[in-house]
Amino acid sequence: MLEEKLGELEQKIAYSFRDEGLLRQALTHSSCANEQKINRTQDYERLEFLGDAVLELVSSDYIYREHMDMPEGKMTKYRSSVVCEPALAFCARQIGLQEYIRLGKGEEATGGRNRDSIISDVMEAIIGAIYLDSGIDKAKSFIHRFILSDLKNKQLFYDAKTILQEEVQKDNKGALRYELVSEEGPEHDKIFTVEAYIGERKVGSGVGHSKKAAEQKAAYEALLRMDKGGRT
């Protein structure tokens, strides 16, 4: 990876690595590492393991301190929703992390760059790399800035389909349904467009690399519209 690309990412995450090799490793998928014949870089899997543990500690500490009356069961459920695969992928995409992942040719050709599982793994690997490079405080700052910020809005996005369904049932507004409008692109990298309807009224639309992702975005748009219209 070109040095300027690494520097560009460091600017986005507001952190400069002392050991740039850790950043390279955090961005390297096993498919890329296996293709390298010389100057082989380790893949991100060990860093992901470490980053996952750091993320669990920091997010648990945050929830414990911010929600003093929340019982253990609800704290566990809340933490799971905040650090689950789709949530981490969403946070990673907000900083364009997928653009910097080093993939092998085969993984690239089959749409790995847009896969939530890979993007979320790299997000955790970045956390692990920062932890090794500078310790828990810098890792904590990264997590608070890019994962634990604006949680109310992120939670609305993560749980959009469930929340919209509850709103529709509560107000008896009609049946909620999602319609697939279009499906474009090659088999390994399709783009789906979905519209959400309550009864016969279109309330939102969304685009994603899976029907589920497109439905989620359509539901999120519908909730934002309802908020503007005075949803309580």
Phi and psi (nearest 5°) for 231?
A: -65, 140
pLDDT at 43: 94
105 lies in the same domain as 46: yes
Which whole-number Å values give the CA distances from 14 to 27, 139, 148, 221, in the listed order? 17, 12, 16, 30
Q: Which of 52, 121, 133, 195 is the catalytic position? A: 52
140 lies in the same domain as 219: no
- Within a domain: residue 77? yes
Instruction: Tokens for 62, please give them.
Output: 């945050």
Q: 8-17 — which CB contacts under 8 Å span 24+ positions?
A: 8/100, 9/97, 9/100, 12/95, 12/96, 13/95, 13/126, 13/142, 13/146, 14/145, 15/130, 15/134, 15/138, 15/142, 17/129, 17/130, 17/133
19 lies in the same domain as 78: yes
170 lies in the same domain as 132: no
pLDDT at 137: 98
137 lies in the same domain as 170: no
Q: How confident is the model at residue 38 (pLDDT cuts 50, 70, 90)?
A: low
Q: 222-231 — which CB contacts under 8 Å span 24+ positions?
A: 222/160, 222/164, 222/196, 222/198, 223/156, 223/160, 223/163, 223/164, 223/167, 226/167, 231/167
Identify residue 219 by its one-letter amino acid code: A
For residue 166, what are the domain limits? Answer: 160-228
In the residue annotation, 66 being an active-site residue is answered as: no
Asked if the model's pLDDT at residue 145 lies above 90, the reply is yes
pLDDT at 189: 75
pLDDT at 232: 39
- Within a domain: residue 216? yes
Q: Lowest-pLDDT range, 5-14, 53-62, 133-142, 188-197? A: 188-197
**pLDDT tens by residue, 116-127:** 899 999 999 999
* Percentage, residues of the chain above pLDDT 90: 62
11 lies in the same domain as 63: yes
In the residue annotation, 133 being an active-site residue is answered as: no
Q: Which of 48, 107, 121, 124 is the catalytic position? A: 124
34 lies in the same domain as 110: yes
Asked if the model's pLDDT at residue 194 lies above 80, the reply is yes
Identify residue 74 by its one-letter amino acid code: K
- Within a domain: residue 155? no
pLDDT at 111: 83
Q: CB neighbours of 110 closer than 8 A, spacing ≥ 6?
A: 188
pLDDT at 74: 92
**Mean pLDDT of the region 161-179:** 88
- Within a domain: residue 177? yes
**Mean pLDDT of the region 103-129:** 91
Domain at 188, CATH number: 3.30.160.20
| Domain endpoint, select from 150, 173, 201 | 150
Q: How confident is the model at residue 36 (pLDDT cuts 50, 70, 90)?
A: confident
30 lies in the same domain as 93: yes
Contact indicator for 28, 102 with CB cutoff of 8 Å: yes
**Mean pLDDT of the region 194-223:** 92
Domain at 117, CATH number: 1.10.1520.10
22 lies in the same domain as 134: yes
pLDDT at 102: 93
| Domain endpoint, select from 150, 178, 198 | 150
15 lies in the same domain as 116: yes
166 lies in the same domain as 132: no
| Domain endpoint, select from 150, 170, 188 | 150
Total count of domains within the chain? 2
**Mean pLDDT of the region 96-125:** 91
**Mean pLDDT of the region 49-74:** 96
- Within a domain: residue 109? yes
Where is mean pLDDT largest: 128-137, 185-194, 196-205? Answer: 128-137
**Mean pLDDT of the region 81-102:** 92
146 lies in the same domain as 168: no
pLDDT at 2: 64
